[in-house]
Structure 1
Amino acid sequence: MAELVFFSGTMDCGKSTLALQMNHNHTVAGRAGLLFTQQDRAGEAVLSSRLGLLGQALEVQHDLDFWEVVVSHRMAGERVDFLICDEAQFYDTEQIDQLARLVDEMGVDVFAFGITADFRTRLFPGSQRLIELADRVQVLQVEALCWCGARATHNARTEDGVMVVEGAQVVVGDTNVGASEVGYEVLCRRHHMRRMTRSAAHAAALSPDVLPLDLDICPVPPPRGAASTATG
């Protein structure tokens, strides 16, 4: 049976890379699909990965109807077996409903990829609706890391190098930008709540006014599977 699957994770965890890989795997297996994205860092109608992979895609505008797109392709005699939907957090809730309908009524597999929460730790409407409707929600296994070495769980927005927690929910940026631009950084929950970005931690470490005990440094977690010891 067809499925609606939501692959979620922070920035830098390989969502777009996996989307392109899944499209390749299904195409090689003889299936026909369509790629969709919205506000990709590489420009309009492009699905791009930070590893340098690119794929042509359909840009998801707010008036796009996924049901009508698939119907039009099938009426033209074209197969549509699956959809790859990147940056799904930006989709309207009605568009997520359309994707679920395609799964249930047309048997089209839908693989959606996106960030769950914004820089304020609030759920994106598209992501929230996907969590509500998806047959499966899969957190990607490739873990992005906070500057402290802990697993990154939150996305932080920076402006002029300073973390901000107010502003429009959607502002396109990337994790590799100059200090004078709007950018993003992935952080562990502790450092996100304390607004301690990499540059802020570096500045604090260099400041003579901050004692070592005042520095907010998370311990790097031991490798998974490593034996733990206790003293008493």
Structure 2
Amino acid sequence: MGSSKSANALMANFNHHEVGKIPLLCKPRTDTRDGERIITSRIGLSAPCVYLEEVVEYPEERLRQYDCIIVDEAQFATEEQIDFLADVVDFWNITVICYGLRADFQNHLFPGSARLLAVADKIQEIKTACWCGKKATCNARYNENGIVRNGEQVMLGGNDSYIALCRKHFKLGMLYDPEKS
């Protein structure tokens, strides 16, 4: 949360266009937070996209039109979709760049993220900070009563529902500095 994953996906899309490459920007259909067929970042960048579920159905000749496939919210991809993307890299030599969360609000891996971690050629962490200044490694879901520890793995939301915390403050349930409240 808050590490500019979507902004990075949108910048990668822009940069590929800038150098004359043809990228395909996509996201899993599960991600409806910003509307259908659009990727939006918290800093206001946005671009149209297609659904990953459609991309996996594209015939090879259509996929070969693209120099790069950029996937936002990759944690919502299925294991089969991640395997398909790995095949695109291995057999069709098309670059695939995925952006997504590693773990959910209970600090469990998303199935798509687990598969991506297993098959990715390269993993680059995009860091963000907890309110205390330490590296944030946990995505805490919260409501008016504090941190939510139980519930469905997927619940779409933004800054009004999730906050990035270091592991210590996640475990303690501390959403903010008590001295500054």
Contact 1:40 1:87 in 2 (8 A): no
2:107 is aligned to: 121
User: Is contact 1:156-1:186 (8 Å) kept?
Assistant: yes
Can you give the 5+ residue segments of structure 2 that lack an aligned partner in the other structure?
Answer: none
- Following superposition, the deviation at residue 72 of structure 1 comes to 5.8
Q: Deviations over 1:162-205 (max 9, x none)?
A: 21111100000101x2xxxxx0011111010111112xx53x88
Corresponding position of 2:13: 23
Partner of 1:52: 44
The residue type equivalent to 2:140 in the other structure is A
- State the shift of 1:159 in Å: 2.4
Instruction: Give the superposition deviation at 1:152.
Output: 1.2
Query: Equivalent residue for 1:166?
Result: 150
Which of the residues 164, 171, 181 maps onto 1:193?
171
Please give the TM-score of this superposition, normalised by the length of structure 1: 0.72
Secondary structure in structure 1 of the residue aligned to 2:156 = coil
Structure possessing the higher radius of gyration over alpha carbons? 1
Q: State how many pairs are aligned.
A: 179
Counterpart-to-counterpart distance in 1, 2:91 and 2:12 = 23
For 2:135 and 2:32, the matched residues in 1 are separated by 25
Q: Secondary structure at the match of 2:13?
A: helix
- % identity of equivalent residues: 39
Q: Is 2:119 aligned against 1:133?
A: yes
The 3 A distance-change label for structure 1 pair 205 and 66 is closer
Contact preservation (8 Å) 1:65, 1:98: no
Residue 24 of structure 2: which of 26, 29, 34 is its match?
34
Assess, with a 3 A threshold, how the Cα gap between structure 1 residues 205 and 17 changes in structure 2: closer, same or farther.
closer
Aligned AA (1:33): P
Using the alignment, how far apart are the partners of 1:196 and 1:101 within structure 2? Answer: 42
**Inter-partner Cα distance in structure 2 for 1:56 and 1:65:** 14
1:66 aligns with 2:55: yes
Alpha-carbon distance in structure 2 between the residues aligned to 1:17 and 1:27: 15
Cα contact 1:40–1:48 (8 A) shared by 2: no
